[in-house]
Structure formats: C-alpha cells, structure tokens
Amino acid sequence: MARAHPGQLSLVCAGPLGNVAQALRLEPHLPELLGRLVVAGGSIAAPGEVSPVAELNFWLDPHAADQVLTAGFQLTMLGLDVSQAAPVPLASIEALAQQRSHPALAALAHAVRVQAQARAVSEAGEPACPAGGLLGLVQVLQPDLFQTTTGRVRVVPDGLAEGQSILDRREELAYAQPGWESELPRVAAALAVDTAAALDLVRRTLASGWLSARPA
C-alpha cells in the first residue's frame, strides 16, 4: 500500500516494533514511502515501567525499536512522558459502549478494562488505561497538542539498561562516539501533551456518528 501511495500514508504503532523492522527488511525504501510514522513507546524523562529506565514496548524488542528509530522515517515518538500524563478513564469508555452498543466500542472498553486492571489509575484514583495507542491517533490528527523536541534516539539492546531510549539533543559531540554518528537521522520525541484537549478529541470521536450503525 505504501508503494501504491508514496508519501500519503501515516502509520501508528501501538506495540513492539518487530513488524515494522521486518517490513524494513522487505522494503528498505519504506522510510521514504511512508508519510509519517508515530510510535507509542520509549521514554525521554519519565521513569521506566518494566525497569527503572525501560518502557514496555521498547523493552520487549529493543533491537527492532533501535532499528526503526534510526532508519530515517519521519518519526514521532510518544513515550511514557505523555502516555502516563493522559490516562483514558475506564468509566467514560464503558459509558460510551453502553450507550452506543457497537462491537468496536465494546472491544475498546474490554481492552481499556484489562489495561486499567494491570497498569494504571487516573489522578482521581479511578481505573484508567495508558493512552499510548490512542495518543498516536491524536498526534496524527492534531499534532499541535504535543510539545516535542528533536534529536537522535538510540535504544539500548541488552544489559542493565535494556530497552532504554536515549535522546541526544546536542547538535555536535565533543568527541566521536560509536553509535552516535552525526549522520544518524533525528526524530521528534514528545515531552508533553495537552491532556484535556487530547482526551476530549478521543471522546468526541468515539461519540460521533461514524460508530452509530452496527456492522452488517
């Protein structure tokens, strides 16, 4: 599809990046063919969740994450810095699912419920789900809601810091360092998000008419 519509497609990745790494092996020109790639994973300043420094998606396949982040995509990384700041309240999704009686909303409510039980609560102490994947869609639709910085990002492949994402915000290094060559592509990393506006966009989209009819 990317070959048929070069530069027109945006891809949002809400899990480990092994499938994108495999796609790169099959089509080395994928970074030029895709318009944008939004990745829900990693962390810049927020502490890790599966280790002191690692986010789950990057930790599950750090080699793939590093390969994708250094491949040259027009890439935005949405890490724990923003996903933990914008948890999706379980109650609001369940209420929508009950009102609309649509399989897509029922499936979303189930996914949010499972994640909420395992991983997160809102600031009010209510069950909520980290919004990584949903924020990826928000970023494609309304990127101005995010504050980002740009730089080279590498992912630690193994060892004590396995899965850690490291952002180099400097333009030049005082000394040459293997793995941080100047020609490495830069990516955009989100540092903050307008939480209220992002969650409002999610709610309005889910409540809109496109989910009004049950599929045949």
* Domains of the chain with bracketed CATH: 10-85+131-192 (3.90.245.10)
Is residue 59 within 8 Å of 156, Cβ to Cβ?
no
List % helix, strand, coil for the chain (3-state, nearest 5): 40, 20, 40
The C-alpha atoms of residue 139 and residue 147 are separated, in whole angstroms, by 11
Cα–Cα separations (whole angstroms), residue 164 to 54, 64, 150:
5, 13, 17
The C-alpha atoms of residue 7 and residue 34 are separated, in whole angstroms, by 5
φ/ψ (deg, to 5) at 186:
-95, 150
Q: Write down the pLDDT at residue 123.
A: 55
Q: Write down the pLDDT at residue 191.
A: 97
The C-alpha atoms of residue 106 and residue 133 are separated, in whole angstroms, by 17
pLDDT by residue, tens only, the chain of 216 residues: 889 888 999 999 999 999 999 999 999 999 999 999 999 999 999 999 999 999 999 999 999 999 999 999 999 999 999 998 888 877 888 888 888 777 888 888 888 877 777 655 555 567 777 777 889 999 999 999 999 999 999 999 999 999 999 999 887 776 778 888 888 999 999 999 999 999 899 888 888 766 665 555
